């Protein structure tokens, strides 16, 4: 609890300063509404926002699952063969350095306009893929070289080596990759929703766009607050998982 | 393939072995024969190829040239660090070599528990490596190397990081475990400590710092295992001084190697 107190205090302080500044300087609410107005918007639009948050969250989660499967599977395959790794790595980096916004229109076409949610999941997965692939690959190769020698000495089969040495050694790296990728999946989902520019996905990004077009600034900030809270919760969940596994592992 | 079968009176042998690494002068030619049941200490400066010698004997590294012979029997290896799997408890760590060889898990666990009991850790079966002291972790590593009942046991400066009391205890334990087996396994023990070399081995071989060749062999006085208070006998000090002199001769010039 004492760890939570300082950030909560600072947040409260900033909100109070914001409120006071808005009132004292008589800032027009379409430009910057005070936090109380945002709170009211948050409360009034709660059912709508909750539904949108769930939609975005679900898409991000699906993207994370796909990215883990594909990134993990590819890392596993690549870890078994050095030439394969040399062939795949540049392509993975190429995917990473290509901005998701730039490939979004293409993915939209492929997914079909009726399936904007599929496109969003695919794009978010593309963004979340790299830290998982890279992290798991690093992890699979992180086992103590002397332990690898021991497995050589006792004639371990590739499967034994994978299950008894490399996968357990990789687990902390998988979790670290998952933590980074979880944040990226949310970002990817939101960016993809923005680019899709249709209400078909009904996610938080759409709420933001919609409110922005109508100059309902307080509604925008309410949606933004939802996104922020969602990101924080996701991060905390993965961090908790990480701690639980670490304490079991070492 | 360098795993030629050795004659019955040889536990392992290197014959005209050369090892080339890119960007470094080649090591060798190395010739060394280990007979069954003997304990051989290998001393030499850092970089003289002591660890390479062990890896060659274990078959973990192929020679660039020459012949490595080993018995058909099993080999155990102890590294400089305990090298335990941090996610597994002591029992699982020790059972690993048996399980990799296809021994059923229950039997492997029973034998691992026996091996741990033999090194005095019968009450720490479920301890994780991080819950063990350095000496205990090394004992687990020793148990893991012994659990397959090897005919050749290779130890690469295993006790170097431990305090001197723990080190002496572990050497006594090693002697005890070695003497208890019949037939006794051959042991090759790399160390940089001449006192340790004289005390624990039948003979000590000195590797040249530049070439990795065996440049001297000194037979230790007395027989193994050592009786209590053996370090006080006159022959021990003399042998230590003689080996230290041999080692000094095999050392590189002081400009490249300082203070070991």
Q: Rounded mean pLDDT of B173-185?
A: 91
CA separation for the pair B110, A33 (Å, rounded): 71
Q: Rounded mean pLDDT of A90-105?
A: 86
Q: Rounded mean pLDDT of A9-20?
A: 95
Cβ(B50)–Cβ(B156) below 8 Å? yes
CA separation for the pair B195, B226 (Å, rounded): 13
Asked if A165 lies within 8 A of B86 by C-beta distance, the reply is: no
Query: How close B33 comes to chain A (CA, Å)?
Result: 20
Mutate to test the interface with B, among A139, A143, A145, A146 (most CBs of B within 10 A): A146
Residue A140 clears pLDDT 90, i.e. is over it: yes
Q: Which stretch of A47-56, B152-161, B213-222 has the lowest confidence by average pLDDT?
A: B213-222
Q: pLDDT tens across B21-65, in order?
A: 887 777 878 889 999 999 999 998 887 788 889 999 998 888 998
Q: Which stretch of A11-25, A174-188, B12-26 has the lowest confidence by average pLDDT?
A: B12-26
- Residue A27 located in a structural domain: no
Cβ(B101)–Cβ(A154) below 8 Å? yes
Task: Give the predicted TM-score (pTM) of the model.
Answer: 0.80
Range of the domain at A90: 34-249
CATH classification of the domain holding A120: 1.10.3720.10
Residue A165 with chain B: CB contacts under 8 Å: 85
A160 vs B55, B100, B128: nearest CB: B100
Mutate to test the interface with A, among B55, B62, B95, B96 (most CBs of A within 10 A): B96
Interface pTM, i.e. ipTM? 0.86
CA separation for the pair B82, B139 (Å, rounded): 8
Q: pLDDT tens across A43-64, in order?
A: 999 999 999 999 999 999 999 9
Sheet strands side by side (includes B75-78) = B75-78, B152-156, B186-190, B39-43, B203-207, B214-219
A155 touches chain B (CB under 8 A): yes
Residue B2 clears pLDDT 60, i.e. is over it: no
pLDDT of residue B260: 42
Domain locations along chain B: 33-61+152-260, 84-150
Query: How close B97 comes to chain A (CA, Å)?
Result: 6
Nearest to B1 by CA among B70, B47, B89, B54: B70
* A62: phi then psi, degrees, rounded to nearest 5: -60, -45
Residue A137 clears pLDDT 70, i.e. is over it: yes
Neighbouring residues of B61: CB distance < 8 A, sequence distance ≥ 6: B19, B52, B55
Domain count, chain A: 1
Q: Rounded mean pLDDT of B117-131?
A: 92
pLDDT of residue B136: 93
Q: Which CATH superfamily is domain B33-61+152-260 in?
A: P-loop containing nucleotide triphosphate hydrolases (3.40.50.300)
Give me chain B's average pLDDT, please: 87
Asked if B75 lies within 8 A of A168 by C-beta distance, the reply is: no
Tell me, rounded to whole angstroms, the distance of Cα B140 from its chain centroid.
Answer: 15
Q: Token digits for A137?
A: 């690959």
Residue B259 clears pLDDT 50, i.e. is over it: no
Q: Which stretch of A156-160, A196-200, B214-218, B253-257 has the lowest confidence by average pLDDT?
A: B253-257
A152 touches chain B (CB under 8 A): yes
- Residue A216 located in a structural domain: yes
Q: What percent of chain B has pLDDT over 90?
A: 43
The band of A65, judged by pLDDT with boundaries at 50, 70 and 90, is very high
Q: pLDDT tens across A162-182, in order?
A: 999 999 999 989 988 998 999
CA separation for the pair B96, B114 (Å, rounded): 14
- Residue A20 located in a structural domain: no
Give me chain A's average pLDDT, please: 89
Query: How close B223 comes to chain A (CA, Å)?
Result: 31
The band of A11, judged by pLDDT with boundaries at 50, 70 and 90, is very high
């Amino acid at each position: 609890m004492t760890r939570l107190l300082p950030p909560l205090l600072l947040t409260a302080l900033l909100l109070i300063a914001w409120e006071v500044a808005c009132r004292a300087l008589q800032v027009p609410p379409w430009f910057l509404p005070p936090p109380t107005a945002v709170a009211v918007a948050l409360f009034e639009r709660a059912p709508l926002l909750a539904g949108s948050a769930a939609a975005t969250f679900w898409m991000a989660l699906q993207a994370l699952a796909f990215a883990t499967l594909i990134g993990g599977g590819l890392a596993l395959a690549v870890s078994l063969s050095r030439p394969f790794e040399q062939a795949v790595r540049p392509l993975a980096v190429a995917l990473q350095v290509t901005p998701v916004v730039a490939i979004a229109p293409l993915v939209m076409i492929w997914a079909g306009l009726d399936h904007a949610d599929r496109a969003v999941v695919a794009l978010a997965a593309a963004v979340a893929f790299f830290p998982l692939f890279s992290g798991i690959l690093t992890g699979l190769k992180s086992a103590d070289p002397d332990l690898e020698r021991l497995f050589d000495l006792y004639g371990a089969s590739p499967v034994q080596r994978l299950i008894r040495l490399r996968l357990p050694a990789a687990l902390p790296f998988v979790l670290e990759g998952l933590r980074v990728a979880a944040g990226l999946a949310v970002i990817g989902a939101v960016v993809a929703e923005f680019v899709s520019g249709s209400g078909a996905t009904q996610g938080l990004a759409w709420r933001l766009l919609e409110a922005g077009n109508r100059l309902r600034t307080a509604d925008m900030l309410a949606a933004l607050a939802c996104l922020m809270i969602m990101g924080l919760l996701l991060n905390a969940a993965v961090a908790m998982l990480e701690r639980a596994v670490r304490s079991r592992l070492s | 393939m360098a795993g030629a079968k050795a004659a019955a009176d040889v536990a392992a042998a290197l014959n005209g072995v050369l090892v080339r690494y890119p960007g470094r002068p080649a090591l060798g030619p190395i010739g060394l024969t280990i007979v069954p049941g003997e304990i051989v200490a290998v001393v030499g400066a850092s970089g003289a190829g002591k660890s390479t010698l062990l890896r060659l004997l274990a078959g973990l590294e192929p020679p660039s040239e020459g012949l490595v012979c080993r018995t058909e029997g099993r080999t155990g290896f102890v590294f400089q660090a305990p090298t335990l799997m941090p996610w597994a408890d002591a029992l699982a760590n020790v059972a690993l070599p048996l399980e990799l060889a296809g021994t059923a898990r229950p039997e492997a666990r029973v034998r691992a528990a026996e091996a741990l009991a033999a090194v005095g850790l019968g009450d720490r079966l479920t301890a994780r490596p991080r819950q063990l002291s350095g000496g205990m972790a090394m004992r687990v590593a020793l148990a893991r190397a012994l659990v397959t009942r090897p005919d050749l046991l290779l130890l690469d400066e295993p006790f170097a990081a431990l305090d001197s009391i723990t080190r002496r205890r572990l050497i006594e334990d090693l002697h005890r475990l070695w003497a208890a087996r019949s037939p006794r396994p051959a042991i090759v023990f790399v160390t940089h400590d001449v006192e340790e070399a004289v005390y624990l081995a039948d003979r000590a071989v000195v590797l040249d710092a530049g070439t990795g060749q065996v440049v001297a062999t000194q037979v230790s006085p007395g027989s193994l295992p050592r009786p209590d208070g053996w370090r006080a006998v006159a022959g021990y000090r003399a042998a230590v001084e003689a080996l230290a002199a041999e080692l000094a001769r095999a050392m590189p010039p002081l400009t490249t190697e300082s203070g070991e």
